[in-house]
């Protein structure tokens, strides 16, 4: 890509954008104020305060709630003014190339006020700031990130985490400055991400290789370079600072959603839109890729506490790729807590999987029958016994799907007086209602009044579709006693409160009665 010609028309800017000359800088405690020649002050972030000098010109939007969120600074220096641009950026593109085989990326400017639409970053600026930053220190010109962690280039992901922890302890014992600790943490966060590690290894082999912007961007970017004549693009020559958007999150992650790979594991949650890369040290259980065959049978959840940075993923919808906001956990700020009794649950799930394979033909016959009619739990137990299935086999697993969630099923099963299986559904007879449940994200729990004859009700229900019930086609909703439905959503406690309200039970989580509380 080439810079726009001087004849290009400048992009329009907001009328509230001003350009003022700096008179002097003053410190007030932790704040650094910039005083202009007209006497007005402006508080600057520390990353900018060290760059701005008296006589510099600052351009910003005075009407913005945070004027220094986007700022353009010009310093006269002979015939070549030095320009600095500070702005919030969104997602950064994947590396592209021009005719001269020089790679670059584009960072989109979010909520721009000064007319700048994007920041053009040559691959070398991304490489030098993120991947080769440690080489700027005297005597470290040939130091690699592996050297920084005191490990080898072929180290497994778990070995990298051990090396990272050891280096932190060593630096703490030495009383090393925070800059060294930050450098070690940055090295680990790059090498612990498979895509970024692959990018770094390629840069070690060929420094002119394309450099990926770590974790996709999203944060506050400070760069030095030149603004194009049309003001739409800032051509960066150097990255001075980048602070990613991040936040701390704590939650419980279902183990069934973890994909087990060779040497690492990956947790993805499309509901929360988060991604976590795990290693054998952060997730201390001895797994292997064969676990993916039966992980859906494990109901356990692991505790996650981590710092997440914004990232992005492309999703194909209606033939078009769309960029979707996601969040990725920083490997250095990740803690995972295993629940009590996890090994017993894993052993039980593995045994269940083996039994399902051993009695596959018998269970498949039952599944085909469930496609046609609903069967009560005791009847299913009798059929299993006739087909030679052991009596301790969990009947719920006959129609259990890999993406089912144990939580919604367990909350209803514990207080059910009778249970039916039908297709991919579970029908529970409760004390005050009948509930139909598909324990899967994106589905809803259907609540009906308790019928006088449940067997007759089940036969009639099995002949209609959910859409017929929702629209009361032929008054079927009235005949079945349809009360309403409760969407699963992301908050299980909210689902439980709404469900108990539909049934007519107290919704105070401290009353101790009715349906079981969230465990």
Of the two residues 276 and 519, the one the predictor is more confident about is 276
Q: Is the pLDDT of residue 515 over 50?
A: yes
Would you state the structure tokens that stand for residue 76, as one six-digit string? 């006269």
Domain shared by 420 and 470, yes or no = yes
**Residue reference for tokens 């990725």:** 328
Domain shared by 257 and 308, yes or no = yes
Q: In 228-271, which ranges are E strands? A: 233-244, 246-254, 258-260, 265-269
384 within 8 A of 364, measured Cβ to Cβ: no
Question: Of 47-56, 69-78, 190-199, 313-322, which gets the smallest average pLDDT?
Answer: 313-322
* High-pLDDT (> 70) share of the chain, %: 91
Q: Is the pLDDT of residue 2 over 60?
A: no
Confidence of residue 210 (pLDDT cuts 50, 70, 90): very high
Number of domains in the chain: 3
Domain shared by 372 and 485, yes or no = yes
Domain shared by 333 and 423, yes or no = no
Which CATH number belongs to the domain containing residue 197 in this structure? 1.10.287.110
Closest by alpha carbon to 228, among 119, 111, 121? 119
Residue 487: predicted pLDDT? 93
Q: Is the pLDDT of residue 18 over 90?
A: no
Domain shared by 377 and 418, yes or no = yes
Residue 5: predicted pLDDT? 45
Looking at every residue in the chain, the average pLDDT score rounds to 88
CA gap 361, 507 in Å, rounded: 44
**455 assigned to some structural domain:** yes
**333 assigned to some structural domain:** yes
For residue 515, give the DSSP letter. Answer: S
Domain shared by 385 and 480, yes or no = yes
**65 assigned to some structural domain:** no
Q: Is the pLDDT of residue 211 over 90?
A: yes
**416 assigned to some structural domain:** yes
CA gap 95, 102 in Å, rounded: 10
CA atoms within 13 A on the CB side of 494: 6
Domain shared by 463 and 395, yes or no = yes
Q: Which of 292, 308, 340 is the last residue of a domain?
A: 340
Domain shared by 499 and 365, yes or no = yes
Domain shared by 367 and 470, yes or no = yes
Confidence of residue 108 (pLDDT cuts 50, 70, 90): very high
What is the average per-residue pLDDT within 207-226?
Answer: 91
Residue 511: predicted pLDDT? 41
Q: Is the pLDDT of residue 426 over 60?
A: yes
Domain shared by 497 and 414, yes or no = yes
CA gap 302, 276 in Å, rounded: 12
Residue 16: predicted pLDDT? 82
> Which phi-psi region, left, alpha or beta, contains residue 480 (left: φ > 0; alpha: ψ -120 to 50)?
alpha
Q: Which of 157, 173, 206 is the last residue of a domain?
A: 206
**448 assigned to some structural domain:** yes
Which CATH number belongs to the domain containing residue 273 in this structure? 2.40.50
Structural domain for 412, as ranges: 359-503
In this structure, the number of other CB atoms found within 10 A of the CB of residue 344 comes to 10
Q: Is the pLDDT of residue 142 over 70?
A: yes
**54 assigned to some structural domain:** no
pLDDT digits (tens, 9 = 90+) for 41-85: 888 877 777 788 888 888 888 887 676 789 999 986 655 668 999
Residue 508: predicted pLDDT? 46
Q: Which residues contact 18 (CB under 8 A, 6 or more apart)?
A: 59, 60, 61, 62
Domain shared by 150 and 282, yes or no = no
Residue 476: predicted pLDDT? 95
Highest mean pLDDT among 99-108, 110-119, 293-302, 331-340: 331-340
What is the average per-residue pLDDT within 392-398?
Answer: 90
What is the average per-residue pLDDT within 171-190?
Answer: 92
pLDDT digits (tens, 9 = 90+) for 234-288: 999 999 999 999 999 999 999 999 999 999 999 998 888 899 999 999 999 999 9
DSSP-derived pairing of the beta strands 482-487 and 41-44 = unpaired
pLDDT digits (tens, 9 = 90+) for 20-35: 888 888 877 667 888 8
* High-pLDDT (> 90) share of the chain, %: 62
What is the average per-residue pLDDT within 177-195?
Answer: 93
**172 assigned to some structural domain:** yes
Residue 49, judged by CB atoms within 10 A of its CB (0-12, 13-18, 19+), counts as middle
Q: Which of 174, 206, 238 is the last residue of a domain?
A: 206
What is the average per-residue pLDDT within 458-485?
Answer: 94
223 within 8 A of 288, measured Cβ to Cβ: no
Closest by alpha carbon to 48, among 86, 100, 90? 86
**170 assigned to some structural domain:** yes
Domain shared by 175 and 275, yes or no = no
Q: Which residues contact 420 (CB under 8 A, 6 or more apart)?
A: 374, 375, 376, 377, 426, 427, 458
> What's the full length of the chain, in residues?
519
Of the two residues 11 and 261, the one the predictor is more confident about is 261
354 within 8 A of 346, measured Cβ to Cβ: no
Give the Å distances, CA to CA, from 318 to 11, 271, 321, 385, 402.
Answer: 33, 20, 8, 48, 26
pLDDT digits (tens, 9 = 90+) for 354-387: 988 999 999 999 999 999 999 999 999 999 999 9
Reduce the DSSP state of residue 257 to 3 states and report it. helix
In this structure, the number of other CB atoms found within 10 A of the CB of residue 311 comes to 21
């Amino acid at each position: 890509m080439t810079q726009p010609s001087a004849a290009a028309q400048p992009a329009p800017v907001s009328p509230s954008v001003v350009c003022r000359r700096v008179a002097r800088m003053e410190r007030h405690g932790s704040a650094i104020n910039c005083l202009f020649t007209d006497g007005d002050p402006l508080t600057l972030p520390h990353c900018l305060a060290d760059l701005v000098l008296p006589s510099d010109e600052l351009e910003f939007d005075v009407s913005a709630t945070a004027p220094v969120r986007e700022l353009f600074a010009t310093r006269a220096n002979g015939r070549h003014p030095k320009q600095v641009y500070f702005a919030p950026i969104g997602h950064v593109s994947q590396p592209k190339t021009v005719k001269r085989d020089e790679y670059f990326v584009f960072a989109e400017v979010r909520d721009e006020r000064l007319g700048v639409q994007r920041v053009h970053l040559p691959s070398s600026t991304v490489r030098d700031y993120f991947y080769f930053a440690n080489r700027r220190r005297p005597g470290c010109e040939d130091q690699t990130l592996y050297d920084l962690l005191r490990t080898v280039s072929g180290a497994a992901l778990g070995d990298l985490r051990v090396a990272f922890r050891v280096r932190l302890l060593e630096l703490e014992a030495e009383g090393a400055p925070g800059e060294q600790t930050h450098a070690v943490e940055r090295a680990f966060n790059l090498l612990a991400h498979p895509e970024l590690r692959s990018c770094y290894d390629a840069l070690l082999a060929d420094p002119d290789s394309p450099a990926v912007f770590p974790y996709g961007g999203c944060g506050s970017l400070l760069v030095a370079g030149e603004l194009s004549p049309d003001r739409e693009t800032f051509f960066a020559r150097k990255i001075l600072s980048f602070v990613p958007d991040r936040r701390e999150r704590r939650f419980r992650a279902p183990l069934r959603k973890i994909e087990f790979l060779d040497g690492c594991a990956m947790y993805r949650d499309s509901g929360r839109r988060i991604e976590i890369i795990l290693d054998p040290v952060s997730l201390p259980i001895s797994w292997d890729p064969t676990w993916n065959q039966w992980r859906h049978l494990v109901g356990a959840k692991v505790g996650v506490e981590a710092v997440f940075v914004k990232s992005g993923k492309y999703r194909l919808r209606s033939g078009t790729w769309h960029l979707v906001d996601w969040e990725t956990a920083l490997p250095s700020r990740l803690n995972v807590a295993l629940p009590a009794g996890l090994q017993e649950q894993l052993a039980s799930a593995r045994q269940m999987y083996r039994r399902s394979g051993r009695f596959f033909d018998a269970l498949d016959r039952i599944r085909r029958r469930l496609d046609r009619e609903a069967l009560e739990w005791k009847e299913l137990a009798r059929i299993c016994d006739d087909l030679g299935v052991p009596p301790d086999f969990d009947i719920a697993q006959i129609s259990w799907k890999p993406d089912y969630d144990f939580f919604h099923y367990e909350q209803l099963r514990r207080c059910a007086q009778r249970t039916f299986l039908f297709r991919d559904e579970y029908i529970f007879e409760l004390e005050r209602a009948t509930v139909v449940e598909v324990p899967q994200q994106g589905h809803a729990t259907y609540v009906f009044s308790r019928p006088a004859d449940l067997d007759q009700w089940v036969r009639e229900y099995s002949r209609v579709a959910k859409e017929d019930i929702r629209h009361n086609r032929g008054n079927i909703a009235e005949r079945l006693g349809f009360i309403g439905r409760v969407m699963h959503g992301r908050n299980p406690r909210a689902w439980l409160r709404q469900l108990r309200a539909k049934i007519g039970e107290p919704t105070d989580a401290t009353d101790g009665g009715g349906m079981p509380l969230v465990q």
